[in-house]
Amino acid sequence: MRSLFVTFCYASFFIVGVVAPFALTLGYLWVDSFFPQALAYSIITDLRVSQIIGIAAFAGYFLLDRRDPPRVCLITVLLVLLAGWVTLSTFFWAVVPGPAVDRWNVVVKTLIFAAFIPYVIRSRVQIEAFLQIWLFGFAINFLPPGIKALISRPTYGHDLGIATTSLSNDARLAMIALMLVPIILFLRRHTKILPVNWLTSAMYLTIIVMAFGASYGTYERTAIIVAAVLAALTWLTSRRKVLFGVALAMLTLLGAYLTPTDWQERMTTITEYNQEASAARRIVVWEWTFNYALEHPLGGGFNLYYSNQLGGVNPDGSKGGLAYHNDFFEVLGEQGWPGLAIFLVLIATSVFYLRGAARRARRFPHLAWCRDLATALQMALVLQLTGGSFIAMGFHPPLYMIFALAISLREYVHRVEKASERATGAISGFAERGIASSAQLSG
């Protein structure tokens, strides 16, 4: 039954896409966050569900939906440029060619689709639908762990999840769950697709509680750091800083009282990074990556870390590679200094676009949701990069979805500005013609 239900959900995007082509793009996003092939027992488990619906989304746009395209902007150019660069590094100088090609196959689709999304996601309803699908797609990964963690005592390394996906019960799951909290708060306040009432408000707040529960249940130190940054950002953007600060302090004290001793002991090792083995390994691999980039400025291609021999011993007696545990070192080692430069400019440009959209939206009272969404996306970006400082997610799709949404929001505000200018020009024209007619009659 579960396979039938999941397959029906997948097929529904194609059905709706016939009359609303943007639904196919939402379907790709759903596959990218929900991972239906991992949850189903049969039917779609052997299908290339992402590739199929991705092709359908492109076809739907070019055949049925080519209106109001966004302006060509720097983020779009950078995404395409990065896709070209990772292709060169993969097929011309990758140190571990086989794994590099496998990784390239995933990353290049993420980059191209991120560049494509603003062409399809244009209106307020489409932007919100994108956010809702994104939220509920990822929620299936952290809601069950969150529930289990809050009603039972979790233990480090214990899998609380419901499927084997790229978001297993570790720091990645915690980071994604917490990254979505600003998006959830935005939807709770500004949703148009769902009714705004106490029921939907309670639903969004419950999802937030489950997000924190799942993060707590992972026992990951990255989770507590991301949660602390989230608390700081929320306080900075809060209109009632004193009240929020008091509530935050009380929740912190309550959490310290309720959390088990082994969880607290693991969190306290954050301050002992110079003595803790995991932190020491991170520093070692960061040094190795930096030195490698000095000798090989173009990088070593995807999964370069397989070759560093800094990890444990494999079953065959060889030394294994130690992963980067950092977005920036991941990009530097694999794509070299050019790749890192593109990556950093992408981040900076996204912040610039979001801040600019928020600033211009202040002219229009009905665009208050744009200002709040720009703030939420900036917070999500900071949280993503905070978590990425301790786990390697430099090419993980959520980061590039934020880049895409920065374009969509910027272009939406731009279209509203142009419409306002045309309306103002039309009114001025009518007024000038009216004055001229009055003058002629008076004459």
**Three-state secondary structure string covering 186-199:** HHHHHCCCCCCCHH
Single pTM value for the model: 0.91
Cα distances (Å, whole numbers) of residue 384 to 167, 180, 222, 318, 402: 14, 10, 11, 34, 10
> Could you tell me if 196 and 369 are in contact, meaning their C-beta atoms sit under 8 angstroms apart?
no
> How is residue 218 annotated by DSSP?
T
Q: What are the average pLDDT values for consecutive 10-residue runs of the chain, which has 443 residues? A: 86 93 95 84 81 93 87 95 97 94 95 96 96 93 86 62 58 92 95 92 95 88 92 89 86 80 77 64 90 96 89 57 91 97 97 96 94 97 93 92 97 92 71 58 52
Classify 394 as helix, strand or coil: coil
**What residues contact 92, with CB distance under 8 A and at least 6 apart?**
none
Classify burial at 337, counting beta carbons within 10 Å of its beta carbon; exposed 0-12, middle 13-18, buried 19 or more: middle
How far apart, in whole angstroms, are the C-alpha atoms of residue 179 and residue 391? 14
pLDDT of residue 432: 60
Cα distances (Å, whole numbers) of residue 112 to 68, 84, 104, 404: 19, 10, 12, 10
**What residues contact 59, with CB distance under 8 A and at least 6 apart?**
none
Report the candidate in 287, 390, 381, 299 with the shortest Cα–Cα distance to residue 340. 299
Q: Which two tokens stand for residue 285?
A: 């691999």
124-179 pLDDT tens trace:
999 999 999 999 999 988 888 888 888 876 655 555 555 555 566 578 889 999 99
Query: Can you list the pairs that 303-309 forms with residues at least 24 positions away whose Cβ atoms lie under 8 Å?
Result: 303/96, 303/99, 303/100, 303/102, 303/103, 303/334, 304/94, 304/95, 304/96, 304/333, 304/334, 305/333, 306/95, 306/96, 306/99, 307/95, 307/96
- Parse the chain into domains and list their residue ranges: 1-67, 73-437
Classify 313 as helix, strand or coil: strand
**What residues contact 237, with CB distance under 8 A and at least 6 apart?**
375, 379
Q: Which two tokens stand for residue 252?
A: 């912190």
pLDDT of residue 392: 87
pLDDT of residue 177: 93
Cα distances (Å, whole numbers) of residue 19 to 175, 187, 231, 302: 36, 25, 42, 39
pLDDT of residue 77: 97
